Amino acid sequence: MTIIGERGMNELHIDLNRVGRMHVHTPMASRFDRTRWGIEHPVEWSTERDQTDRRLIPRFLEDAVGLAAPTQTPVSTPKSLAFRVIYQLLLFALNEEAEWDARNAQLDSSGMMSDNELPYFDNIESAQDALHRGTTVSGQAISRYDFWGMLRDGRCLGLIQTDGTLHLPGHDPVPLMSVYNANKRDILPTAMEIRDLLTA
């Protein structure tokens, strides 16, 4: 998983690689004092798991690249809502027997298939249409990077597009923001409704 700033990798570039290490690729902030954290860089995933404070590693990474912690929760945008829904869907599935996963439709993080073989768009016509005909807000062509496959036991149930759209086999696209607003902007019932749509 890679976090890139709006102006590209030179502005901000943090990634979590397949081996389980978090790397900061941009220059460390001048005021960053790594000794006060007691955390080695790159950060091992086992280090994150060992923390009792789930915010410690994100705060460390924010400090390393010079990001200020937000003073209030930002308003959800379609893009942030897409990732909030993905997070909640995976959280719901933690104790299930079925294995849930969210995979980028372009990159095969499992290493099992080449990127061109990912079958996530099969039978999801609205996603195929969006991929071939759509453009982003900035006017760029939409790419497979803009879609996340929601998988259960290896089968793609649907695609969540980073513009805040849910694509399902045999259905019209579902705007996540409409579902969110209908649920009084509460993420839990929103994600439950999306889960119901995925598993119907």
- pLDDT tens sequence across 88-122: 999 999 888 999 999 888 875 555 444 455 678 88
pLDDT in tens, 154-181: 899 999 999 999 999 999 999 999 999 9
pTM: 0.73
Closest-CA residue to 146 (of 156, 135, 21): 135
Sheet containing 43-44, strands listed edge to edge, beginning at the edge strand earlier in sequence: 2-5, 8-16, 21-24, 43-44
pLDDT for position 34: 78
Residue 33 reports pLDDT greater than 80: yes
Q: Which residue has the higher pLDDT, 152 or 18?
A: 152
Q: How far, in Å, CA of 54 to CA of 132, rounded?
A: 39
pLDDT for position 20: 76
What is the residue extent of each domain of the chain? Answer: 2-65, 78-199
